[in-house]
Amino acid sequence: MTNKKMKIKSITYGLISSLLIFSSNNVLASFDGSQMNVRWEIWDKVNPGNGGEVLAVTDEIDVVASDSITPDIKDFHNSRGTFELWDVDFTTQGIDLTYTSISVRDFDHQYMYMSSMGFHFEDTENNLPDIISVTVADGLTPFGFNPSLVTFDANNIYVDLTGSMCHVDGMASMPSCTNNASPTGYDNQIKLNIVFADGGTAAPVETNTNARIDNLYTWAEQKYPEFFPSQQQSTDIEGYYSRYYSETDIYLGSKDGRLYVFGKPFGGLADLGDLEQWFNDLSL
């Protein structure tokens, strides 16, 4: 067997092995299609997940999360006019929060949350399996943000922003939030990774084949960002229902009940197996 074939086989086995390990422990539930309530709350010293009490709700919205809409909520927390706006995006198994109103209020001093306040996400319809883990991705969080203040229970997530701040120009011990390596140019994103418990799937579950394939593609984007680094829209490419990732020049596609990937790291076109098997293993 050539080295190229061995590499393709190794990557393919890695994808399948990871899939089997994941699906044997946790259900790949999806926010897609589930109603979520999002609130901006002010708390008494600590958030309710740490035993605090809600003092006020300044902003609230109900949204049906959708993988096809990015972000799901634009310019949230607008009770302060154009100040301190956040985009909220529900992904397959995560929530991305991006502070967007940089330089609107004051170019030097953007915001500082020195008292207990932040986001409260609630699965009001109990559509999703119980939440069993919430972690924060490293890298682009605002200065002063403390991941340990993110708390949760089966149906709720509290993102406490106490201590979080952004300054375009550094001030004394408070550095600039400018980050040229960030997609937005700033340290202004909080990415939550969420794991759901065994024993259920997100309701409602799409039965349309293309919708199930889209869910599979979205899972691959989150699980293997080195190959599929951004969420793309699916389209027909030469008879394949596909997504193209220009950053890596890789295609992810399906045809005649099979899953394929095409790109230089795979030596061209590689067959990743039966679609129905992927659906079953991921509970899609």
pLDDT of 199 strictly over 90: no
Most confident listed range (37-41, 205-209, 243-247): 37-41
**pLDDT above 90: residue 7:** no
pTM of the model: 0.59
Arithmetic mean of pLDDT, 140-147: 87
Confidence of residue 16 (pLDDT cuts 50, 70, 90): very low
pLDDT digits (tens, 9 = 90+) for 232-281: 888 888 788 899 999 999 999 998 889 999 999 988 899 998 888 888 88
> Three-state secondary structure along the chain?
CCHHHHHHHHHHHHHHHHHHHHHHHCCCCCCCCCEEEEEEEEECCCCHHHCCCEEEEEEEEEEECCCCCCCCEEEECHHHCCCCCEEEEEECCEEEEEECCCCCCCCCEEEECCCCEEEEEECCCCCCCCEEEEEECCCCCCECCCHHHEEECCCEEEEECCCCEEECCCECCECCCECCCCCCCECCEEEEEEEECCCCCCCCCCCCHHHHHHHHHHHHHHHCCCCCCCCCCCEEECCEEEEEECCCCEEEEEECCEEEEEEHHHCEEEEEEEHHHHHHHHCC
Q: What is the pLDDT of residues 72-81, one digit of tens each?
A: 999 898 887 6
